[in-house]
Amino acid sequence: MQIQYTAEQSALQPKLAAANINPDSFLATDYLNHFNEIVMLLEMVPDMPELAEDCADWAPKSYPKHFEDSGFQAKTLAIEAYHMAPKVVRSVFDRICRELDTLILSTLNGLASVNAAERGVSPDAQRLIRGRVEMIQEMLMKLNKVIHGQIDRPKEPVVPDHPEESAQTQEDIDKLFD
């Protein structure tokens, strides 16, 4: 997809490349660290259920907030660039981030409600968690592509607009951990 940059965006692009921020998308891969941390924990939960408690500490964090809290050297520039990112990039990026947040939070809510640390993780629950991790990783690959300026506009969302309609009931999740 060919993006038409404004004069202000074009003037900022050389600074972005020097700061490890993609000059085409105006986004930095450092933001993926926010999601990678929870993925690593979730990957271990099937074999180490006590880590479910550590997972509960994760919360969605906006791109600007991530950089405000980070040690990224050019964090002010990263935040400025995000706000100046081409609209087509930002809209796809923000949508995928919302979908990731929804998927991760629904997974964490399921873990928290059944107290996996005390009850253990059944084989069915292990498969469910691993399946969720795969879905999250697929979405992270899409997010990474957007950050690198490769924008795919999916025909339909990966996560439904109303996830509660397609999610398991609490009773279904509880049964997995019994």
3-state secondary structure of 141: helix
User: CA separation (Å) from 70 to 28, 30, 91?
Assistant: 12, 9, 23
Distance (Å, whole) CA 121 – CA 92: 35
As a whole number, mean pLDDT of residues 159-173 equals 51
Residue 1 in domain: no
Could you report the per-residue pLDDT of 105-154, keeping only the tens digit for each?
999 988 776 665 556 677 887 888 899 999 999 999 999 999 999 986 54
Q: The tokens of 45 are what?
A: 């939960």
Residue 16 in domain: yes
Angle (nearest 5°) at CA 86 between 85 and 88:
125
Kindly report whether the global pTM for this prediction surpasses the value 0.95: no
Residue 77 in domain: yes
Residue 2 in domain: no
Count the domains in the chain: 1
Q: Which of 24-38, 44-58, 61-75, 86-100 has the lowest mean pLDDT?
A: 44-58
* pLDDT of res. 165: 44
Containing structural domain, residue 141: 7-177
Could you report the per-residue pLDDT of 8-58, keeping only the tens digit for each?
999 999 999 999 999 999 999 999 999 999 999 999 998 888 888 899 899
Whether the per-residue pLDDT at 3 is higher than 70: the answer is yes
- DSSP assignment of 50-103: GGHHHHTT-----HHHHHHHS--TTHHHHHHHHHHS-HHHHHHHHHHHHHHHHH
